[in-house]
Amino acid sequence: MSLENIFSLDPGSVLYTIISFIVLLVVLGKFAWKPILAALEAREQGIRDDIDLARKNRQAAEEAKVAHEAALGDARKEAQGLLAESRERARAFEVEQADQARAEAMKLREQAAAEIAREAQSARQSLKGELVELSLAAAEQVIRKGLSRADHEAIVQDALRQAEQTL
């Protein structure tokens, strides 16, 4: 074949090509076109379903995120409430312990004051007893020297008054 024949039109060849093309279209239309279109439609439907599923999953994930954040916020509030309650209990316990310590200290102070008062009273009684003995010894010595009973009583009373003033 020469190069000139390539571009020439042969009516038989054109007719043969057109008939071949029509037969090919009929065969493809009958056997291949429907399965290809069905496969394309199935693929398109699968893509739509995947997109819808992805949207639903995304929406569910966002709802779960919102629910999780709300639960986390509630948990934080509850934790803060528990912490505040614990702090309040600690303060109340501290105040209670301080009050008990003050009451105990006051009780000990009162017991000590009562003990001191008893000891002071005992010391006064002891001192009065010794003073009486000294007064009697002095009176005895004075009586030996010849004082009258009135003088003796005046001396004892004076000594008792002076002893009470010093106590």
Domain map (residue ranges) of the chain:
11-166
| Three-class secondary structure assignment of the chain | CCHHHHCCCCHHHHHHHHHHHHHHHHHHHHHHHHHHHHHHHHHHHHHHHHHHHHHHHHHHHHHHHHHHHHHHHHHHHHHHHHHHHHHHHHHHHHHHHHHHHHHHHHHHHHHHHHHHHHHHHHHHHHHHHHHHHHHHHHHHHHHHHCCCHHHHHHHHHHHHHHHHHHC
What pTM did the predictor assign? 0.40
Asked if residue 142 lies in contact with residue 121, where contact means CB atoms within 8 angstroms, the answer is no
| pLDDT tens digits, 102-112 | 999 999 999 98
Q: What per-residue confidence (pLDDT) applies to 107?
A: 93
| pLDDT tens digits, 22-72 | 998 888 888 888 888 888 999 999 999 999 999 999 999 999 999 999 999
pLDDT higher than threshold 90 for residue 129: no
- Which residue is associated with the tokens 């020297």? 145
Q: What per-residue confidence (pLDDT) applies to 27?
A: 86
d(CA 72, CA 82): 15
Which of the pair, 5 or 34, is modelled with greater confidence?
34
d(CA 156, CA 163): 10
Q: What per-residue confidence (pLDDT) applies to 89?
A: 92
pLDDT > 90 in the chain, percent: 46
pLDDT higher than threshold 70 for residue 143: no
Nearest Cα to Cα of residue 135 among 158, 119, 118, 116: 158
Which of the pair, 140 or 92, is modelled with greater confidence?
92
Q: What per-residue confidence (pLDDT) applies to 2?
A: 56
